[in-house]
Amino acid sequence: MQHLVDTNNFSDAQIEQLLSDAKNFKTQCPPKLLRDKLLITLFFEASTRTRSSFEVAAKRLGAAVVHLDPSRSSTKKGESLKDTFANLCAMEPDGVIVRHAQNETPQILADMQTTPVINAGAGNYAHPTQALLDLFTMVEHFGDVKGKTIAIVGDIVSSRVASSGIRLMKRMGMHVILVAPKQFMPQSDLPQYEKLENVMDKVDVIMSLRAQLERHETELFENYEDYARQYCITKKRMQDRDILLLHPGPVMRNIDISDEMLEDPRCKVLTQVKNGVFMRMAILKLLLLDA
């Protein structure tokens, strides 16, 4: 039984297979490979893109999907998370897709070894399917990402997207640099910059992150406009540089990325959403059929 708690659960060969399968799924609608499979989604945090992307991916492969709303589940009656999960697994699903506020939750559930667990985002540590779809988007654009430089910009310390992405991108041979005020920086030996202007001529990719000022007790900025003046990705900052622009969403317009740049062909935000379906199809195929 194989799980996806973070991308290190996959071998290099499996990641190459995921990229190949995602490309093939994007090129041609696949047969209903999972027609006899049942998936349960268990989202303890709100989600639009990830949950709907998994559902579309599963249904395109023919699987059935059951959503459990934790706010209406027995966890609200005092039942432990493990007991809730054990009861779900007694119904013999073929996999459970889980999102939770605690970093450790997906691994705890995976360690029960009752059904494949797919981490759809946990705490500030891991969002492996986002990291893999971002890799697919960059490979699709560049062909080979080895040696490419990516700047991750914004509230990095709060971001599970950044955390998972950094581990995967380094593994794939990319150079990663971090751009943020010191309070938004994680402990890291990666190159760190406070000013966006200092990296614009060094990078092939910028990954902008959602500004999450509400997560920080210290008021670093008077307001979001103050933050945007320093870290918003604008046409003026990008100029005519050949830089790929990514964002995991939701985008705060004119704070993370300007309206003008969201319409720019270098911005791949909607491509990421589209590619997310194909990558999650590839992940479901791997875990439910191939593993």
Percent of the chain with pLDDT over 70: 94
Q: Is the pLDDT of residue 72 over 70?
A: no
The closest alpha carbon to 236, from 205, 260, 269, belongs to 260
Local structure of 219: helix, strand or coil? coil
Strand partners, 177: 151
Cβ within 8 Å of residue 226, ≥6 positions away:
none
Average pLDDT on 4-26 reads: 98
Q: Stretch 104-111: mean pLDDT, rounded? A: 97
User: Bigger pLDDT: 75 or 194?
Assistant: 194
The yes-or-no verdict on residue 195 having pLDDT over 70 is yes
Confidence of residue 90 (pLDDT cuts 50, 70, 90): very high
Higher pLDDT, 182 or 90: 90
| Strand arrangement, sheet containing 95-100 | 64-68, 38-43, 95-100, 117-122
pLDDT of residue 74: 58
Structure tokens at 219: 């008021």
**Cα 39 to the chain's mean position, in Å?**
20
Q: What is the pLDDT of residue 79?
A: 78
Res 220: pLDDT: 64
**Residue-wise pLDDT tens digits, 140-178:** 999 999 999 999 999 999 999 999 999 999 999 999 999
What sign does the dihedral 278-260-162-198 (CA atoms) show? positive
Q: What is the pLDDT of residue 78?
A: 72
The partner residues of 68 in beta bridges, in order of sequence, read: 42
Q: What is the pLDDT of residue 126?
A: 97
Strand order in the sheet with 175-179: 192-193, 175-179, 149-153, 205-208, 244-246
On the question of pLDDT at 267 being above 60, the answer is yes
CA distances (Å), 258 to each of 17, 217, 225, 245, 269, in order?
Answer: 36, 26, 12, 12, 13
Tens of pLDDT, residue by residue over 222-244, are 678 888 999 999 999 999 999 99
Helix residue spans in the chain (DSSP H): 12-27, 49-60, 81-89, 105-110, 128-142, 160-171, 224-231, 235-238, 259-262, 269-285
Give the mean model confidence (pLDDT) for residues 168-192. Answer: 95
Q: Supply the pLDDT for residue 69.
A: 82
pLDDT of 76 > 80? The answer is no
Measured at the alpha carbon of residue 108, what is the angle toward residues 102 and 110, in degrees to the nearest 5? 120
**Residue 71 pLDDT > 80, yes or no?**
no
